[in-house]
Amino acid sequence: MMDHPVTEQKSLRVETDGEVGLIALDNQPVNALGQAVRQGLLDAVAELNANDAVKVIAIYGEGKMLSGGADIREFGKTPQPPGLPDVLNGIEGSAKPVVAVIHGVAFGGGLELALSAHARVGLPGARVGLPEVTLGLLPGAGGTQRLPRLIPLDSAIEIITSGRHVPVAEAVELGLVDWLAEGTPREAAIKAARDVLSGALPTRRTGEISIKPDEAVLNAAREKLAKKRPALAAPLKCVDAIAASGLPIAEGLKAERRLFLELMDSPDRQGLIHAFQAERMVKHIPESAAQPRPVESAGVIGGGTMGVGIATALLQAGIPVTLIEMDPNHAKTAHERIVKNLDGGVKRGKMSAETRDQRVAMLTAETGLEHLSQVDVVIEAVFEDMKVKTGIFRDLDRICKPGAVLGTNTSYLDVNEIAAATSRPQDVIGLHFFSPAHIMRLLEVVVADKTAPDVVATAFAMAGKMKKVAVRSGVCDGFIGNRILAHYRMVADYMLLDGASFEQIDRALEDFGFAMGPFAVGDLAGLDIGWATRKRKAPTRPAEERYVRIADRICEQGWFGRKTGRGYYLYDDPKSRTPNPDAVAIVDAERAAEGISSRTFSDDEIVARYMTAMISEAARVVEEGIAHRPVDVDAVFLFGYGFPRHLGGPLNYADRIGAAALVERIEGYAKEDPHYWQVPKLLRELAQSGRSFADLNKE
Q: Which is nearer to ligand NAI, 297 or 367 (CB)?
A: 367
408: which strand partners? 380, 430
Task: Give the number of C-alpha atoms closer than 13 A to the C-alpha of residue 676, restricted to the C-beta side.
Answer: 23
C-alpha span between 120 and 107 (Å, rounded): 14
Q: Which part of the chain contacts ligand NAI (CB under 6 A), choosing from 49-57, 184-192, 207-215, 318-326?
A: 318-326
Q: Which is nearer to ligand 3HC, 64 or 228 (CB)?
A: 64
Instruction: Write the binding mask 9 to 48 for ligand NAI: x where contact by CB under 6 A, - elsewhere.
Output: ----------------------------------------
C-alpha span between 548 and 587 (Å, rounded): 10
Q: Is 132 in the site for ligand 3HC (CB under 6 A)?
A: yes
Q: Is 16 left (phi over 0), alpha (psi -120 to 50) or beta?
A: beta
Instruction: Write the binding mask 48 to 87 for ligand 3HC: x where contact by CB under 6 A, - elsewhere.
Output: ----------------x---xxxxxx----------x---
Partner whose footprint covers residue 68, from ligand 3HC, ligand NAI, none (CB < 5 to 8 Å by kind)? ligand 3HC
Cβ proximity of 65 and 104 under 8 Å: yes
Q: Is 400 in the site for ligand NAI (CB under 6 A)?
A: no
Q: How near is the Cβ of 455 to ligand NAI at its closest, in Å?
A: 19
C-alpha span between 141 and 41 (Å, rounded): 14
Instruction: Write the binding mask 432 to 471 for ligand NAI: x where contact by CB under 6 A, - elsewhere.
Output: xxxx------------------------------------
What residue number has its CB nearest to ligand NAI? 304
582 residue type, one letter: D
Q: Is 107 in the site for ligand 3HC (CB under 6 A)?
A: yes
Q: Is 219 in the site for ligand NAI (CB under 6 A)?
A: no
Q: Which part of the chain contacts ligand 3HC (CB under 6 A), choosing from 103-111, 145-153, 299-307, 441-449?
A: 103-111
Q: Which part of the chain contacts ligand NAI (CB under 6 A), choosing from 106-114, 324-332, 345-353, 614-622?
A: 324-332
C-alpha span between 340 and 29 (Å, rounded): 39
Q: Name which position in 122, 131, 246, 530 contacts ligand 3HC (CB under 6 A).
A: 131
The verdict on whether 545 is a catalytic residue reads no
Q: Which is nearer to ligand NAI, 104 or 307 (CB)?
A: 307
Q: Name which position in 30, 259, 369, 378 contacts ligand 3HC (CB under 6 A).
A: 30
| Contact set for ligand 3HC, span 277-336 (CB under 6 A) | 277, 280
Q: How near is the Cβ of 378 to ligand NAI at its closest, in Å?
A: 12
Cβ proximity of 77 and 35 under 8 Å: no
102: which strand partners? 122
DSSP secondary-structure letter at 579? E
In this structure, the strands spanning 166-167 and 127-129 are antiparallel
Contacts of 234 (CB under 8 A, 6+ apart): 132, 133, 136, 137, 138, 263, 268, 269
Q: Which part of the chain contacts ligand 3HC (CB under 6 A), choosing from 104-112, 224-232, 370-378, 465-473?
A: 104-112
Q: Name which position in 53, 326, 361, 592 contacts ligand NAI (CB under 6 A).
A: 326
Query: In 3-state terms, what secondary structure has residue 676?
Result: coil
Contacts of 369 (CB under 8 A, 6+ apart): 301, 324, 392, 395, 396, 399
Partner whose footprint covers residue 452, from ligand NAI, ligand 3HC, none (CB < 5 to 8 Å by kind)? none
502 residue type, one letter: F
Q: How near is the Cβ of 310 to ligand NAI at its closest, in Å?
A: 9
C-alpha span between 533 and 539 (Å, rounded): 11
Catalytic position from the list 92, 132, 256, 444 = 132
DSSP secondary-structure letter at 104? S
Partner whose footprint covers residue 162, from ligand NAI, ligand 3HC, none (CB < 5 to 8 Å by kind)? none
Q: Is 473 in the site for ligand NAI (CB under 6 A)?
A: no
- HEC string of 478-535 equals CHHHHHHHHHHHHHHHHHHHHCCCHHHHHHHHHHHCCCCCHHHHHHHHCHHHHHHHHH
Cβ proximity of 512 and 644 under 8 Å: yes
Q: Is 337 in the site for ligand NAI (CB under 6 A)?
A: no
The verdict on whether 287 is a catalytic residue reads no
C-alpha span between 680 and 619 (Å, rounded): 7
Partner whose footprint covers residue 141, from ligand 3HC, ligand NAI, none (CB < 5 to 8 Å by kind)? ligand 3HC
Rounded to 5 degrees, φ, ψ at 259 are: -65, -40
Catalytic position from the list 112, 325, 444, 617 = 112
Q: Name which position in 101, 159, 241, 382 contacts ligand NAI (CB under 6 A).
A: 382
| Contact set for ligand NAI, span 414-433 (CB under 6 A) | 432-433
Cβ proximity of 648 and 654 under 8 Å: no
Partner whose footprint covers residue 305, from ligand 3HC, ligand NAI, none (CB < 5 to 8 Å by kind)? ligand NAI
C-alpha span between 446 and 565 (Å, rounded): 36
Contacts of 668 (CB under 8 A, 6+ apart): none
DSSP secondary-structure letter at 108? T
Q: Which part of the chain contacts ligand NAI (CB under 6 A), choosing from 213-221, 239-247, 378-386, 641-649?
A: 378-386
Q: Is 139 in the site for ligand 3HC (CB under 6 A)?
A: yes
Q: Is 305 in the site for ligand NAI (CB under 6 A)?
A: yes
What residue number has its CB nearest to ligand 3HC? 108
How many residues form the binding site for ligand NAI (CB under 6 A)? 24
Contacts of 469 (CB under 8 A, 6+ apart): 279, 282, 441, 442, 443, 463, 635, 639
DSSP secondary-structure letter at 561? B
Q: Name which position in 117, 141, 147, 278 contacts ligand 3HC (CB under 6 A).
A: 141
Partner whose footprint covers residue 107, from ligand NAI, ligand 3HC, none (CB < 5 to 8 Å by kind)? ligand 3HC
Cβ atoms within 10 Å of 140's Cβ, excluding its own: 25
C-alpha span between 175 and 315 (Å, rounded): 38
| Contact set for ligand 3HC, span 267-286 (CB under 6 A) | 277, 280
For residue 562, CA distances in Å to 35, 484, 552 come to: 54, 24, 16
Partner whose footprint covers residue 388, from ligand 3HC, ligand NAI, none (CB < 5 to 8 Å by kind)? ligand NAI
Q: Is 639 in the site for ligand 3HC (CB under 6 A)?
A: no
Q: Name which position in 302, 474, 530, 648 contacts ligand NAI (CB under 6 A).
A: 302
- Give the DSSP H or E segment for 105: strand 105-107
Q: How near is the Cβ of 441 to ligand NAI at its closest, in Å?
A: 14
406: which strand partners? 378, 428
For residue 692, CA distances in Å to 115, 586, 630, 660 come to: 40, 42, 10, 10
Instruction: Write the binding mask 164 to 183 for ligand NAI: x where contact by CB under 6 A, - elsewhere.
Output: --------------------
- Under the rule (CB under 6 A), what is the footprint of ligand NAI? 301-307, 324-326, 330, 381-384, 388, 392, 409-411, 432-435
- Under the rule (CB under 6 A), what is the footprint of ligand 3HC? 4, 6, 29-30, 32, 64, 68-73, 84, 105, 107-109, 112, 131-132, 135, 137, 139-141, 143, 277, 280
Q: What positions carry a catalytic annotation?
A: 112, 132
